Amino acid sequence: MKKQIIYLGLGLIGLTACQDKKTGTMETKQVCISDSLSKMIKIDTAKSTPMKDELTLSGEVSFDENKVVKVFPFTSGQVVEVKVSLGDKVTKGQVLAILRSADVAGSYTDLTSTKSDLAISKRQLEQAEYLYKNGISSERDYTEAKENYNKAVAANSKVRDQIAINGGGNTNASGALVIKAPGSGYIVEKNISAGNFIRPDNSSSLFTISDMKDVWIWANVFESDITKVKKGYAARITTLAYPDKVFNGKIDEISSVLDPDNKVMKVRVALSNNDMLLKPEMFTNVLITNSESTTSVAIPASAVIFDSSKNFVVVYNSKCDLQVRAVNVIKTVDSVTYVASGLKPGDKVVSKSQLLLYNALTED
């Protein structure tokens, strides 16, 4: 058979016009890779590896509930003033709000009363003790005076303890209660406004403070995808606010029940937030990646050529022994393509400039 050398482009490839079925799947020409082209191509080896899987979920940012301080009311009353807003940064001891409480005012009235009773009982005890020691009164009178004094002390201590529980030094006789931040951080929840009345049976926190150095991402998993997520799987987080920035974490908690409203299962990803970029309620995209137990032949995704509704690769045996081979692609994850047939472990494929070789091998 007569041979002729055809040069493509800048003379990078030598072609022999001899037609030859190298793969058994499609008719190709014999192509030899020149030294100059060999510097432009890249060759990778097919390997048998566990298949990775990806699952895209929607989620939102939440504060780490294990690292927050919730501020509860000490007593009932009306909110006179709120000095902070949602998202404000506060320091320990900073005034958050002021309440006016009838209970606090009543406690101070009781304190005044018990102070008076204590002073009176103390004088009576001193007098009874003097009379008893001088033989003027009986031991019974002295003992009774002592018991009355002890009762007055107990009553006074009880009121003082009550005032301490209800705010202590942050209160005054007019009934004002000053609510201060127990720690430094950001106001991530605020449940009061000026004029609100705090009932005695209120169980909700007035404020929630978080340092925001760590956050949680809560993602929604539909029933059909529940088997695809497990604790420890890697998660890549992206946001609308920072589309080019990827936050990396792992699933550290999986809910045991489905949300009754939207029938999804919640999974939690813990993230470090030292740059304070992630804010509570921020919408996120969560890409869950895991390695399955099933193995498959894997090659770089860049090696795959899609043509005529099929996938092909250029198999490299030697500089003058190249084959175009059809492959059955299972899926592509993280720039890795898994194939079901067409390649075996150890086969070498061209993953750079392979389209130039493919065209040369298959052109009429």
Is 273 within the bounds of a domain? yes
Which of the four pLDDT bands, split at 50, 70 and 90, describes residue 18? very low
Q: Write the CATH number for 17.
A: 2.40.420.20
Q: d(Cα 124, Cα 219) in Å, to the nearest integer?
A: 71
Same-domain status, 220 and 262: yes
Is 184 within the bounds of a domain? no
Among 334, 243, 230, residue whose Cα is nearest residue 284? 243
Instruction: Select from 174, 201, 225 the last residue of a domain.
Output: 174
pTM: 0.55
pLDDT at 266: 92
Query: Per-residue pLDDT for 11 more than 50?
Result: no
Instruction: Select from 245, 271, 293 the last residue of a domain.
Output: 293
* Domain carrying residue 346: 5-49+295-362
Reported as a single tens digit per residue, the pLDDT across 249-281 is: 999 999 988 888 888 999 999 998 888 899 888
Q: Write the CATH number for 247.
A: 2.40.30.170
Same-domain status, 287 and 307: no
pLDDT at 12: 44
Query: Per-residue pLDDT for 193 more than 80?
Result: yes
pLDDT at 171: 65
For the chain, how many structural domains are there in total?
Answer: 3
Reported as a single tens digit per residue, the pLDDT across 34-80 is: 888 888 889 999 998 887 777 889 999 998 888 888 888 878 888 88
Is 275 within the bounds of a domain? yes
Helix, strand, coil in percent for the chain, rounding step 5: 25, 45, 30
For residues 96-108, give the mean pLDDT.
80
Q: Half-sphere exposure of 351 toward its Cβ, with a 13 Å CA cutoff?
A: 16
Token pair 């498959």 in the structure block, residue? 296
Token pair of 133 as six digits: 């020691």
Provide the percentage of residues in the chain whose pLDDT is more than 70.
88
**Position with higher pLDDT, 328 vs 170:** 328
pLDDT at 107: 74
Same-domain status, 303 and 230: no
Is 96 within the bounds of a domain? no
Instruction: Select from 150, 174, 198 the last residue of a domain.
Output: 174
How far, CA to CA in Å, does 242 sit from each of 82, 167, 214, 246, 271? 33, 43, 18, 8, 15
* Identity at 120, one-letter amino acid code: I
Which of the four pLDDT bands, split at 50, 70 and 90, describes residue 299? very high
Is 89 within the bounds of a domain? no
Token pair 């194939």 in the structure block, residue? 339
Q: Write the CATH number for 116.
A: 1.10.287
For residues 5-26, give the mean pLDDT.
41
Is 151 within the bounds of a domain? yes
For residues 167-191, give the mean pLDDT.
80
Same-domain status, 215 and 289: yes
Contacts of 102 (CB under 8 A, 6+ apart): 76, 77, 175
